[in-house]
Structures are given as C-alpha cells and as structure tokens.
C-alpha cells in the first residue's frame, strides 16, 4: 500500500438540515481522503467560467487570483471577483469550497483547501477570444489542474495549441463532454491530452444529456453547491461532473507534488470503478475512485502514457464563418480568429488594408481581428493560416 499523508482533523461541521454529505462526496468516500490529509492544500486549480462570488462563505478564502476579460479579450483593470451568472460559483464550490452545513444539507468542495485561479470568460461578446485570453493568462498562474467547464459542439481546434502548452507545463485539463446527449462530443473535451468527463446519477446510470466519447464519469446530477449572494442550490450537468474530477486531480497532485500529468491521468483512469452494465462510449474507464487513484499513484507503478506533442491542425475554415462572409455586405465588419503556423507580421503586411481591430494571443498562435469580408477572404488564401473561425460561436457553459 502507498503511504498516505498524516491524518488530519479536517471534517464537515454537523448540519441541522442533514447529517449526510452531498451524495456525490458520500458516494466517492471523499471524507476518507480528508481524514488522511488530502484536502488539495498547496494546489492551484485554474477555473474559466462565468466568474466566481468570492464573498460566498464557501469561497471567501479560496480565490488566489481573478481575471475578468472584456469582449475583445483584454483584461479588465482592477476587477474584483464576481459572477456574471451562477454557473461559475457553483463549479467553484464543487472544486474547492469550504466544508460547511447549509439548510439543504452538508456541502463541500472535493479539495476544500485548494486555491482557485478564476477567469470570467463566458458571458459577453466574442467569447472565443475571451476564452483564449483566459487560457493565455493561466499559463502564468502556477496551476496544476484546469477545470474548463465550457465547450463548442463538434470539433473546433481553436484551443488545441494553448491547451497542449499548458499540458507541457504540467497542467491536467479536465473538460465536460457536453450536455447534447449520446453520439455528441464537444471541443475541447474531444482533444487529445484533455480528460473528457461524463455524468452519472445517484443510481450509477448515465443521464440522457451526457455525451459520448468520455474517458471517465463522475456524479453530475442534483449536486448541491454555492450560488451567488451566499445561497446554495442544486445543479445538474457534465460541468458539475468535470468539477468533481478536477477536484480529485488536485488531491492527487497534493499527494505527490512531483507527479507528472501523465502519472495523475493514468492513476485516475486505471483506478476507476467499472460500470460494465453501461456502454463504454458513455462511461469510458468507469466511475472515478479517489481512494484507489491515490493508492495507484503512490504505489509508484510505471506510467505508460506518453506525453502528447503539439499536433498539426489541418487547414480548414469554420463553415459558420463562411456563411457569415457570404451574407455580408462589402463594408460590413466581421470578427474572426485566425490560427497561424508562422510569423504573423508577413501575413498582415500582405493584406491590402489593415484590420480595424487586432489582437495577438501568442500562446495560441492566434490573431483575433475585426475586418471587412475582403480582408478575411484574403486570409483564406494564406498558406500559414490553417484555421479561421468566427468569434461569435458561443461556447455554452454546461449547466
């Protein structure tokens, strides 16, 4: 058996409403991890969502850094943590909220002593630019786990380069597979090197909304967590399941701070509780098992997962942008993002007129620009522009 950390007195305070944990924490026996010293202490988790209410009692001491990005991906100066919706506060509570009672029962995050680096990126204009800017910011935040609870239906390579760079820095990215049902997966959960998470309910069944092509499943139905303004509420979705898995990953990085991304990912996958009564494409390796994952990691088994290189992305254009260009007038301004394989300056110099607005996101090899249709059509012919996308394809947060 691997050597666990020394025992701690960390535990939930009793609740007048209920003596039971949130069913997910009870199902996963998270208190056993806490009792043996694993609470996520010393681990930073990246969190890109609708924001976070840092004044909530579960989260008042959990936010290490916060960034709000404007519609063009620039960081808002001196922004204080807040939530533009409620999804971000809920996932933050599941990740690292302090254990406490509520009127609805005991609540806690999986890793209640981890710290959160939270970026507000989803609601507002040009969300794809804002997500890229948030990922670029997280490269400098010393995180070990990224909970990226958003997605674009189907395959969209926009985030692939920057997520590969985060992985090379030792960050495990955890994403929900999406709430579009069977046979549908979302980007970036369907990227190589990203841990795709589906949901199960309290009967170990996959709910109809959970997508296909997952690596692992976790509780994602009727999970109680924080809401803005000090409230608590139950929410359902693969975002909630992804937050559970990301929290467990934080426990593993605390248990073995020198662990590689591949070692933690392998420990999570190879220790799963099998769900043989369910289709593999809906459950992957099975239900996450935190105690078994820690034991697997600490037993020092050789990792057979190879690091993922930054892959080449085939030259393509988002068809939604093409439709937008075809319907536009000559002087209309259209926002787009170009992924480039080389130096951006020669590409921009070859354009017969400059874009109205321009933003370079170096970690993603991305140029965000506002330009007329003829400028964007010229970019389509550039051999070093290998993906061109609209900025107005809204990632949906997976509530």
Last residue of a domain, one of 236, 263, 298: 298
**What is residue 356's DSSP assignment?**
S
Half-sphere exposure of 390 (CA within 13 A, CB side): 17
In a domain, 12, yes or no: no
Q: Which listed residue (47, 56, 87, 285) is catalytic?
A: 87
- Whether residues 131 and 251 share a domain: the answer is yes
Give domain status of residue 363, yes or no: yes
User: Which has more confidence, 268 or 386?
Assistant: 268
Same domain, 141 and 248: yes
15 within a domain of the structure (yes/no):
no
User: 65 lies in a domain?
Assistant: yes
120 and 181, same domain (yes or no): yes
Q: Which of 47, 49, 108, 285 is catalytic?
A: 49
Catalytic-residue membership of 87: yes
pLDDT interval class at 16 (50, 70, 90): very low
Q: Which CATH number fits the domain that encloses residue 83?
A: 3.40.50.200
Lowest model confidence (mean pLDDT) among 2-6, 98-102, 332-336: 2-6
Over 80: is that where the pLDDT of 293 sits?
A: yes
How open is the CA angle 71-119-61, to the nearest 5 degrees?
A: 145
What's the confidence (pLDDT) of residue 189?
95
Residue 306, Cβ density class (10 Å: 0-12 exposed, 13-18 middle, ≥19 buried): exposed
Rounded Cα gap, residues 163 and 184, in angstroms: 21
pLDDT, residue 56, reads 97
> Could you give the percent of the chain with pLDDT greater than 90?
73
Q: Which two tokens stand for residue 235?
A: 């929410």
> Does 337 map to a domain?
yes
Q: Are residues 52 and 174 in the same domain?
A: yes
> Across residues 66-92, what is the average pLDDT?
95
Residues 156 and 268 both lie in one domain:
yes
Whole domain around residue 207: which residue ranges? 23-298
Same domain for 293 and 334, yes or no, is: no
Q: Of 268, 298, 328, which residue sits at a domain end?
A: 298
Global confidence as pTM: 0.93
Give how many domains the chain has, as a whole number: 2
pLDDT in tens, 180-220: 888 888 999 999 999 999 999 999 999 999 999 999 999 99
Beta strands in the chain (DSSP E): 44-49, 63-68, 100-102, 105-107, 115-120, 145-148, 150-153, 172-176, 186-187, 195-200, 216-219, 223-227, 231-235, 316-317, 334-340, 357-361, 366-371, 385-390, 396-397
Whole-number pLDDT of residue 311: 63
Other Cβ atoms closer than 10 A to 383: 9
Within this chain, do residues 288 and 166 fall inside the same structural domain, yes or no?
Answer: yes
Backbone angles phi and psi of 150, in degrees to 5: -155, 170
pLDDT at residue 3 is higher than 80: no
Catalytic residue among 149, 187, 210, 239: 239
Whether residues 196 and 334 share a domain: the answer is no
237 assigned to some structural domain: yes
Any catalytic annotation for residue 239?
A: yes
pLDDT classification of 91: cutoffs 50, 70, 90: very high
Verify that 157 and 199 share a domain, yes or no.
yes
Q: How many Cα atoms sit within 13 Å of 39 on the Cβ side?
A: 20
Q: What is the predicted pLDDT for the residue at 21?
A: 54
In sequence order, what are the beta bridge partners of 240? none
Q: What SS3 class is residue 172? A: strand
Q: Are residues 238 and 185 in the same domain?
A: yes
Whether residue 164 is predicted with pLDDT greater than 80 in this model: the reply is yes
Predicted pLDDT at 393: 66
Residue 6 lies in a domain: no
Residue 49 a catalytic site member: yes
**Same-domain pairing of 326 and 291:** no
Residue with tokens 């393509």: 316
Percent of the chain residues topping a pLDDT of 70: 91
- 351 Rama class: left (phi>0) / alpha (psi -120 to 50) / beta: beta
Q: Kindly state whether residue 262 falls inside one of the protein's structural domains.
A: yes
In this predicted structure, the answer to whether residue 306 has a pLDDT above a threshold of 80 is no
Domain-terminating residue out of 239, 272, 298: 298
- The answer to whether residues 260 and 336 belong to one domain is no
Q: What average pLDDT does the structure give for the chain? A: 90
CATH code, 380: 3.30.70
pLDDT tens track for 105-124: 788 999 999 999 999 998 77
State pLDDT tens for residues 221-278: 999 999 999 999 999 999 999 999 999 999 999 999 999 999 999 999 999 999 999 9
């Amino acid at each position: 058996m691997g050597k666990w950390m020394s025992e701690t007195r960390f535990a939930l305070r009793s609740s007048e409403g209920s003596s039971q944990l949130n069913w997910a924490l009870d199902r996963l026996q998270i208190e056993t991890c806490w009792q043996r010293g694993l609470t996520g202490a010393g681990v930073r988790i990246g969190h890109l969502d609708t924001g976070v209410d840092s004044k909530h009692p579960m989260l008042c001491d959990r936010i290490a850094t916060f960034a709000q990005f404007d519609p063009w991906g620039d960081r808002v100066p001196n922004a204080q943590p807040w939530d533009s919706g409620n999804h971000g506060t809920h996932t933050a509570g599941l990740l690292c909220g302090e254990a406490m009672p509520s009127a609805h029962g005991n609540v806690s995050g999986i890793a209640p002593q981890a710290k959160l680096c939270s970026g507000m990126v989803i609601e507002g204009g040009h969300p794809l630019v804002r997500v890229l800017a948030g990922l670029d910011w997280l490269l400098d935040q010393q995180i070990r786990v990224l909970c990226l609870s958003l997605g674009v239906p189907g395959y969209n390579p926009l985030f692939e380069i920057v997520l590969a760079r985060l992985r090379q820095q030792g960050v495990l990215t955890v994403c929900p597979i999406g709430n579009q049902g069977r046979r549908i997966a979302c980007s970036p959960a369907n990227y190589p090197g990203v841990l795709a998470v589906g949901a199960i309910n309290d009967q170990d069944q996959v709910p109809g909304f959970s997508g296909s092509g997952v690596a692992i499943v976790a509780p994602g139905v009727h999970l109680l967590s924080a809401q803005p303004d000090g409230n608590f509420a139950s929410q359902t979705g693969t975002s909630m399941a992804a937050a559970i898995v990301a929290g467990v990953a934080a426990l593993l990085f605390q248990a073995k701070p020198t662990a590689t991304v591949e070692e933690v990912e392998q420990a999570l996958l190879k220790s799963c509780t099998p769900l043989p009564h369910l289709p593999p494409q809906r459950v992957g390796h099975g239900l996450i098992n935190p105690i078994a994952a820690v034991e697997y990691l600490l037993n020092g088994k050789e990792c057979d997962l190879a690091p993922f290189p930054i892959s080449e992305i085939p030259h393509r254009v988002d068809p939604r942008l093409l439709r937008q260009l075809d319907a536009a007038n000559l002087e209309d301004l259209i926002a787009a993002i170009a992924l480039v394989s080389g130096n951006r300056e020669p590409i921009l110099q070859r354009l017969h007129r400059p874009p109205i607005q321009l933003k370079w996101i170096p970690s993603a090899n991305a140029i965000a620009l506002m330009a007329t249709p003829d400028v964007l059509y010229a970019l389509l012919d550039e051999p070093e522009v290998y993906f061109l996308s609209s900025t107005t394809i809204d990632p949906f947060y997976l509530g």
